[in-house]
Amino acid sequence: MDVKPGRVSNTIRSSHEEEEDDAMMDLRRGPWTVEEDLALMNYIANHGEGRWNSLARCAGLKRTGKSCRLRWLNYLRPDVRRGNITLEEQLLILELHSRWGNRWSKIAQHLPGRTDNEIKNYWRTRVQKHAKQLKCDVNSKQFKDTMRYLWMPRLVERIQAAASSATASTAASSSITTTITTAPNPYHFNNNFQSTGAGHVALQQATLIGSNNDLAASYTTPENSSTGASSDSFGNQVSPVSELTDYYTTMSVNNNNPSPMEYFQAPNPHHQVGYRESMTSPSGYVFNQGGLNSHSFQAASAPEQNNNGQWGMDGGDFSDNLWNVEESDMWFLQQQLGNI
């Protein structure tokens, strides 16, 4: 990659450090400086975004329009959300990716505040890592089945557990909102900018969803807003209901070994469904495939299981536990794969 040496990721360097580099070329590349960020933000605050090439010139930035657009969309926008991908977001990413594949921007549209870049990075670093650890290709049927039958139900279970904890604790009722509104971009925007920025609406929306404390029902899958079979923007057939739940239903009919997802109700295809409706009482399902039921599952010495039989959930902000819990996910998935 022909990037200037000394590139510093995640680090804002002073423009003084790079003046020598500037003399070498007209267009700057590499990490953005504080001055550049401020120039870009101020210009967009006054003139709006779009027409990126001319914007770059008019703002006095020695950057390509592409670079400015990327910096704005992925980092400087006021509604960009940073921090760990929550359980719900993970579930949604898995679900949407199972339907659309690597259509990152499309997936990102359903995760307020998350960028396609962030989701793409999450997929590559977390999901593909899991596939690698399970010794199967991320695009293989085996791994997709693992996601559908094991990983996603497990996420739902943990979300339910977290929701229960949140309900039990009045203090916890605000934890989800806190998570969602955590860490906007590092710069302070004045009130005028915030009130006029389009992103502010999205941020309010995200907060509203979180504060609803009804996470499963909060999700709006693309099918929620349309009825009947249709095709996506790439001409692929898109089921009116979740491909995921369709798959569960089909598999449970065709497979003598009932999948864990049998405990998820098949949705009415004519009914607009969210997760809450399509997945009833996931926390109650039994892993009876290969003779493993909830008792043997819970009795096993998996890491991170607490005294309540919950997984990595201690009643606190569940997003804090996310990364620790992932290790138990790997343990769990590997155990389950061994039984298939």
Partner DNA sequence: AAGACGCTCAACCGCGCTCGT
Partner DNA sequence: CACGAGCGCGGTTGAGCGTCT
Nearer to DNA, 10 or 256 (CB): 10
Q: How far is the CB of 94 from DNA (least distance, A)?
A: 16
Q: How far is the CB of 113 from DNA (least distance, A)?
A: 12
CA distance 307 to 322: 18
Closest to 224 in 3D by CA, of 35, 316, 95, 328: 95
- Residue 21: CB atoms within 10 A of its CB come to 14
| Residues engaged in binding DNA (CB under 7 A) | 1-3, 5-11, 28-32, 50-55, 63-67, 69-71, 74-75, 82, 102-106, 116-118, 120-122, 124-126, 129
Q: How far is the CB of 130 from DNA (least distance, A)?
A: 10
Within the chain, residue ranges assigned H as helices are 19-24, 34-47, 52-58, 65-71, 87-100, 104-108, 116-122, 128-133, 141-145, 152-168, 175-180, 191-196, 198-211, 215-218, 243-254, 275-278, 294-299, 318-338
Q: Report residue 165 CA to chain centroid gap.
A: 22
Q: How far is the CB of 17 from DNA (least distance, A)?
A: 11
Quick one: tokens of 75? Answer: 């980092």
Nearer to DNA, 125 or 231 (CB): 125
Task: Give the type of residue at 311.
Answer: W
Q: How far is the CB of 322 from DNA (least distance, A)?
A: 11
Q: Report residue 189 CA to chain centroid gap.
A: 25
Q: How far is the CB of 73 from DNA (least distance, A)?
A: 7
Q: In this structure, are residues 36 and 22 in contact, taking their beta carbons and an 8 Å threshold?
A: no
Q: Which residues pair with 237 in a beta bridge?
A: 231
Nearer to DNA, 214 or 232 (CB): 232
Q: In this structure, are residues 101 and 169 in contact, taking their beta carbons and an 8 Å threshold?
A: no
Nearer to DNA, 64 or 194 (CB): 64
Closest to 123 in 3D by CA, of 113, 111, 112, 131: 131
Nearer to DNA, 119 or 216 (CB): 119
Q: How far is the CB of 49 from DNA (least distance, A)?
A: 8
Phi, psi dihedral angles at 23 (to 5 degrees): -65, -20
Nearer to DNA, 122 or 275 (CB): 122
How big is the CA angle at 318 (ends 310 and 178), to the nearest 5 degrees?
A: 155
Nearer to DNA, 269 or 303 (CB): 303
Q: How far is the CB of 79 from DNA (least distance, A)?
A: 14
Nearer to DNA, 118 or 262 (CB): 118
Nearer to DNA, 197 or 315 (CB): 197
Q: What is the DSSP string of 178-225?
A: HHHT----SSPPPHHHHHH-HHHHHHHHHHHHHHTT-HHHH---GGGG
End-to-end CA distance of the chain: 43
Q: How far is the CB of 232 from DNA (least distance, A)?
A: 11
CA distance 98 to 110: 14
